[in-house]
Structures are given as structure tokens and as C-alpha cells.
Amino acid sequence: MPLPPLDPHRLRAEFPALARLHDGRPVIYADAPGGTQVPRTVTAAMTAYLETSNANFGGVFATSRETGELTAQARAGVMHLINAASAQEIVFGQNMTSLTFAMSRALARTWQPGDEVIVTTLDHDANVAPWLLAAEERGVIVRTLACTPDDLSLALDGLTALLGPRTRLVALGHASNAVGTIVDLAPLIAAAHRVGALVYVAAVHYAPHGVIDVRALDCDFLACSAYKFCGPHLGILYGRLALLESLTAYKVRPSSALPPGKWETGTQNTEAIAGLRACLAYFGGLGADAAPDPLSRAALVAGMRRIVAHEATLSQRFLAGLATIPGVHLYGIGDPTRLAARTPTFGFTLAGGTPRQVSERLAARGIFVWDGHFYAKGVIDQLGIAEQGGLIRIGFAHYHTLDEVDRVVAAVSEIVG
Ligand SMILES: Cc1ncc(COP(=O)(O)O)c(C=O)c1O
């Protein structure tokens, strides 16, 4: 049975931030690729945790037990969200960047001088710099896969040309946080595995916009961040269990020797983990028609499918609107028949204004957007637009409405005019 379309007007009431006014007009948070707003259940869960159950886990007393239980539930929820085989494969940490630096150090211990790693120009630097630094330390050669010039994606033949018997790791992004391309990862991962390389996927930008299935992808690692999908600031790392078990973690000696604990250095941000559990329940609640348990895979996938369908309507409307404005240069996929290959994140420039000037003019109208490179240094450099201030990035989330898209388009038109 098809799920009913998402009604953003109904769910917006759950997000207190969306009621904010700027000079009497409602704010439009088109900065969603930088960070999303959170439902009130997330903040309530964080407050309730701190007020009633605040403790480290591992103790024999009630608050410590409660902390352990909520952490286990959040971990199981993430396992279902990304279809991992075991909750032991889910590691929490400060953010994606810190988790990736930690894992790069552990993986680099297994590399020999003359080995090779592959990074891409489409990725956020958090999935590039850790590998560059680790490679430098170990005398490892770095190869860079440039993105395809027309649609700013990653091509299989491009990757195949770089792979070799000494490739140890391929770092790939699930979707571009600068231009919104969704990468068809499965064939790239299969090619990397054919030469014996491991694959590390950054799914930070993809997570709020699509169903993740680490088993279908067959990736070895996948990292994302809850603040990009309506949760608190918390990093999440999936690792194949055998790898999490066998690799050496940089950890203190008394902490657990088993995953995930061996990878969770120091005291965890348990209030954020409480918020994450509530955030997953919110997403699963959007799929409640499919399954009553909001933390089940069925509910989470159903909720995400409704989001994907709604966001496609936003993308279609935005692309149609942008096409009517003279002087717009959209980078990446603009073809309205290819909405499944992009997120509702748009990187563009406007004749007659730098990205900074345009974002300032939008901010004055209560429309919050980012400009610049968004740490996606590779693609901005490849496009040769760093000097002119990078891109204007307008990005929507599932809580945005078509009316908001129209207001953004009208504002961009006005700025051009
Ligand atoms: C695609 C992508 N990868 C990695 C990151 C870094 O994530 P974090 O802020 O959790 O370190 C971001 C943040 O914007 C991102 O968009």
C-alpha cells in the first residue's frame, strides 16, 4: 500500500524553531545542509535525560542503568536506520570529522609505504584530509578521483582507472553537501572490493535525504552526523564488525576491548544520545503506517520514503523557479527528470552579486543560506570558483513547504532584478 504523502504543514508545529520571525516574516531555514532544526521531542528528551537519568554507563545504580538502556536503544535504532547487521557496529562520537580522524589513524597502522588510497573531489574535506594526513605519515600514495564535469558525480570508469593491487582504501561520499549529487555507490564499492580495498563512506549529507542500507552497499565504514537529520550534535560511525574487532583503536587501557566501546573514547555525550533516540523515533513516526515500532527498520524506511517523495516536489519546484531567473548558473544536476540523483541542495552563482552578497540579501529577507565552500574544497577547486567566493547554497529539508520554495525563488529573482 502506498504511504500517504507527507504534509509538512502538519509536522512543522513540532519544530519550535520554524516559528521564528525575522522583521515580521517567518524565517526560512534554507541552510539545512549545514544543520537541520530539531523537533521538540528531541530537546525534551535531552532535558529529561539530564534532569532524571544523568550518569555514566556501566554502573549498578538506576541512573547508570537507564543511561545504558537508552544508549542501547539509540544504537539499535541507528542499526535499523542504516540496516547494519549488529548494534556492535554502531559507534558514537563527537562528530563525523573526529570519528574519521580516529579511524584513519587506526587504518593507517595497517598500511605500508607505497600503498595507495583514493579520495575524490566531490567529498567534504572531512573525508579527504584525514586520509591525506594518514597517507603522508605512512608514505602512502594518494590518488584523486575528479568528479564528472557535467553532472558533478563520480564515474565507475574513472575509479576503475585509479584502482590497483596496492589500493588499500577508497573514501567516497554518498551525496555532495555542496551541489547535492547522490552518488551511485554500489558499483564503485564493488570495484574497490575487487582489488581488495576497503571503502569508507561519508553519508553526512545523504542521511537526511535517503534510505541508507550498509548491507546492500556492502561498504566497510559509513559515517554520518545526527545534527544533519534533526538530531543533536553527535557523530555516528558504522564499521563492519570484523574490522572494528581486529583494528587497533587509540583508546585508554581500562576501556572496553570490544566494539563499539573500544572505539568510543572518553565519556560519551549521553544527553545527545538521548536526543538521537527521540530523533529516530520522530523519523520512524513518519512511517508509523508501515510499522508501529518507530525504531524498527520498516518504520524508519517508510518514514524516509515519504521524506524522499516530498523533497522531490521541493526540488522540482525550486529547479523550475530557478530556470526562470536570468544570470543563474546552477552547478550539478538541473534536469528535472533526474531528481532521484540529487538531494534538495542547490549550489549556484548569480550574475551581479558574489555568493556572500546574495546570501546577505537573502538573510535580510529572513532566508538563511550559506555561501562559500562548505568545506567541500575539492569540488569548489575543480570548478575554479574559489576566488569568486564559491557558491550560494540553498538547501531544503523535509519540513519545508512549496510556499517556502516559492518565497526563496521570488527573493532570488528580486535580488537579480
Ligand atoms: C558531506 C559531509 N561530510 C562530512 C561533514 C562533517 O561532518 P561533522 O560536522 O559531523 O564533522 C559534513 C558537514 O557538513 C558534510 O556535509
What pLDDT, on the 0 to 100 scale, is given for residue 1? 67
Average pLDDT, the chain: 97
C-alpha 150 to ligand 1 mean position (Å): 24
Q: What's the CA-to-centroid distance between 224 and ligand 1, angstroms?
A: 7
In the chain, list all ranges with CATH 3.90.1150.10. Answer: 8-39+297-416
Q: What is the pLDDT of residues 4-55, one digit of tens each?
A: 999 999 999 999 999 999 999 999 999 999 999 999 999 999 999 999 999 9
299-337 confidence digits (pLDDT tens): 999 999 999 999 999 999 999 999 999 999 999 999 999
pLDDT tens string 193-228: 999 999 999 999 999 999 999 999 999 999 999 999
**What separation in Å is there between the alpha carbon of 234 and the centre of ligand 1?**
11
pLDDT, tens digit, 9 for 90 and up, residues 337-393: 999 999 999 999 999 899 999 999 999 999 999 999 999 999 999 999 999 999 999
pTM of the model: 0.98
Judge residue 72's burial from the number of C-beta atoms within 10 Å of its C-beta, 0-12 exposed, 13-18 middle, 19 or more buried. Answer: middle
Domain 44-282 falls under CATH 1.10.150.120: no
Q: Does the Cβ of 365 fall within 6 Å of ligand 1?
A: no
Contact 127, 100 (CB under 8 A): yes
Q: What CATH superfamily is the domain 8-39+297-416?
A: Aspartate Aminotransferase, domain 1 (3.90.1150.10)
**Pair type for strands 221-225 and 198-202:** parallel
Pocket flag, ligand 1, residue 232 (CB < 6 Å): no
Q: What is the mean pLDDT of residues 92-121?
A: 98
pLDDT digits (tens, 9 = 90+) for 156-180: 999 999 999 999 999 999 999 999 9
Atom of ligand 1 nearest to the CA of 100: 11
Mean pLDDT of the 70-96 span: 98
pLDDT band at 182, cuts 50/70/90? very high
Confidence check: pLDDT of 2 > 80? no
Check residue 175 and report its DSSP letter: B
316 pocket-lining for ligand 1 (C-beta < 6 Å): no
**How high is the pLDDT of residue 346?**
98
Res 352: pLDDT: 81
CA distance 195 to 223: 23
Average pLDDT over residues 103-131: 98
- What local confidence, expressed as pLDDT, does residue 417 receive? 83
For the chain, give every residue range classified as CATH 3.40.640.10: 44-282
| pLDDT given for residue 99 in this prediction | 98
Q: Give the DSSP letter string of 311-378.
A: HHHHHHHHHHHHTTSTTEEEES---GGGGGGB-SEEEEEETTB-HHHHHHHHHHTTEE-EEE-TT-HH
Contact status, residue 36 vs residue 208, Cβ threshold 8 Å: yes
